Structure 1
Amino acid sequence: MTSDSELEEIIAPAKEFANKKKQKIPEELREWIEPVLWNYNKNCMKSQHREDRKPLLLRNYRDLEDGFIVAVMIRDYCPKVVQTHNLTRTLKRASKVDNWAFVSQRLWSKTGFNLSQLTIEKILDHNSSVLFDFLFELKEFLDARFPKDQEGSDKSSEIAYVDVEKYIPSVLDSPKAKKPLSKINNVKVLDKKAKSALQRNDTIFKNNRKCVQELKARFNSLQSDVQERNNEIIMLETSARSVPSPHPSQSSKKKGCCCVIS
């Protein structure tokens, strides 16, 4: 498994290389894309079936031309629209065309976003201004149609890697919340009734903290199970696509029947 520090050692040189390129990606786009790529790389490295995969790097606009990173961004908003295992990282134009055709078709059929063939051709011809304009348009569209954190989902593709921490109030584990009641200033000046009520509330708060931590541990365990099942599904789908179809002459043969009478 790759740690955050190890992942940073891989990605940091790519950032330095990107800063030296004349044709820079607009900062707004980079700030939009890089956090998603970071999470994608972390999740891929955690998967036992993807340890040999190289992390996605955003060095310059050419890294966006095969459509794979664009699919990752779309998947971050709406996993039901596109899954990255349907695409490949490639330098071949023919494969890039296939990637963009898939992304374009899914975007149109699932969201109504129109990515024209002319735009795709200009992107493949290294027209960076067209690429950036498309990404800005896509970002605005996704932000408007698929606002994040609006509601939960029971889809395995969405819950497998969700960060539970952001749903837990930070006050539960803050130093002030964990400070013993006896060490809080001005507690001694309270009357007996107020002090008793404060102690009851403190006990309830501690019990709630234990409950939240237990639920968090259970959810993390379930996430691991879901990730394993998703990986198995991906492997099965990949295997199914690689199995050759039977020869027509073989499939047309009639199956015989053998009976043994004793």
Structure 2
Amino acid sequence: MSKFVQLTELDEDEIQAVYEWVDEIPLSRPKRNITRDFADGAMVAEIIKQYHPKLVEIHNYPLAHSNQQKTNNWNILNTKVFKKLGFQISRNDIEQVINCAPQSIERVLKLVKQKVEEYVESKGEEQRIEEKPMPMQKKGGKVAEIKSTPQANSALKEKEQVIQELKETIEIMESKINKLEQLVKLKDSKIQILTNKLNAAGIT
């Protein structure tokens, strides 16, 4: 069961460890000022997706400048992602991150780092279980032992990740197409208005 976690102050070594961890992860935007760059939650979502692809849909976390959209992003992270990882952060902690309070994002990232590492470790345990011989199955009157190999499991997971990424790409492209169509309609409307004005003024 998830619960609000009390975030604690970090010492210099802990902060540096967070920075080094974040630097190892490929992100869509350059990291210039971690307090501002991570204030909208979008890059936190990207980090978690690196470890748990099925848990995060990137299009749910748009780049945000207003506090309202930033809050929306963090609320989605809190209820749909953090909760499934077994924790949630308080409204006060979210407000501190959005307002770029000192150490606020570092404390959240340290917790996220801990939780995703626990997740990776648990998946490693699951994989070791999967690699054990599966139940016996009769084949041609003989009993055969079926084994699930790490290679097969890895290939399947990679295919699932590719499919998910393609779906997200399609959704992003469809959104862009819709916006372009709206812009074209708007321009057509403006052209028609100007044409009507020219006609009314007797200019051809």
TM beyond 0.5: yes
Which residue in 1 is equivalent to 2:92?
118
Which whole-Å CA distance do the structure 2 matches of 1:33 and 1:68 have between them?
14
The code of the aligned residue for 1:132 comes to: E
Q: C-alpha displacement at 1:84, in angstroms?
A: 1.3
- Which residue number in structure 1 is paired with residue 31 of structure 2? 58
Cα 1:110–1:148 shift into 2, 3 Å? closer
Q: Contact 1:71–1:84 at 8 Å: present in 2 too?
A: yes
Residues 229-262 of structure 1: CA deviation (Å, up to 9, x unaligned): 652244347778999xxxxxxxxxxxxxxxxxxx
Amino acid at match of 2:169: N
Counterpart in the other structure of 1:197: none
Q: Distance in 2 between matches of 1:226 and 1:96?
A: 25
3-state SS in 1 of match to 2:18: helix
The structural deviation recorded for 1:80 is 1.6
Aligned-partner residue type, residue 232 of structure 1: I
Determine the C-alpha separation between the residues in 1 that align with 2:56 and 2:92.
21
For 1:133, the equivalent position in structure 2 comes to 107
Q: Percent identity?
A: 23
AA paired with 1:121?
A: E
SS at match of 2:24: helix
Superposed, 1:227-242 pairs within 5 Å as 231-236=169-174
From 81, 89, 95, the counterpart of 2:55: 81
Give the letter aligned to residue 31 of structure 1.
Answer: E
Does residue 1:36 correspond to 2:32, yes or no?
no
Could you tell me how far apart the structure 1 residues matched to 2:79 and 2:164 are?
28
Return the letter of the residue paired with 2:32. R
Q: Shift of residue 108 of structure 1?
A: 4.1
Cα distance in 1 between the residues matched to 2:78 and 2:155:
25
SS in 1 for 2:121: coil
> CA offsets per residue over residues 73-130 of structure 1, 9 Å max, x none?
1111101221211111122111101110111111244222212111101112221222
Aligned to 1:154: 156
- Taking structure 1 as reference, are residues 118 and 226 closer, same or farther at Cα in structure 2, changes over 3 Å only? closer
Q: Aligned letter for 1:58?
A: K
Q: Within 1, Cα distance between the matches of 2:179 and 2:71?
A: 20
Q: Is the 8 A contact 1:156 1:226 kept in 2?
A: no
Say what the alpha-carbon RMSD is for the aligned residues: 3.4
Q: What is the correspondence of 1:1-262 to structure 2 with a 5 Å cutoff?
A: 26-37=15-26, 40-41=27-28, 56-60=29-33, 61-147=35-121, 150=124, 151=127, 152=154, 154-155=156-157, 159-160=161-162, 231-236=169-174
Number of matched residues? 140
Change (3 A) 1:226 1:241: same
The answer (yes or no) to whether the contact 1:79–1:157 under 8 Å persists in 2 is no
TM-score, normalising length: structure 2: 0.56
Paired residues of 1:29 and 1:136 also in contact (CA < 8 A): yes
C-alpha displacement of 1:155: 4.9
Which entry has the higher C-alpha Rg, 1 or 2?
A: 1
Question: 2:148 matched to which residue of 1?
Answer: none
Give the aligned residue type for 1:70: V
- More contact order relative to length (CA 8 Å, sep ≥ 6): 2
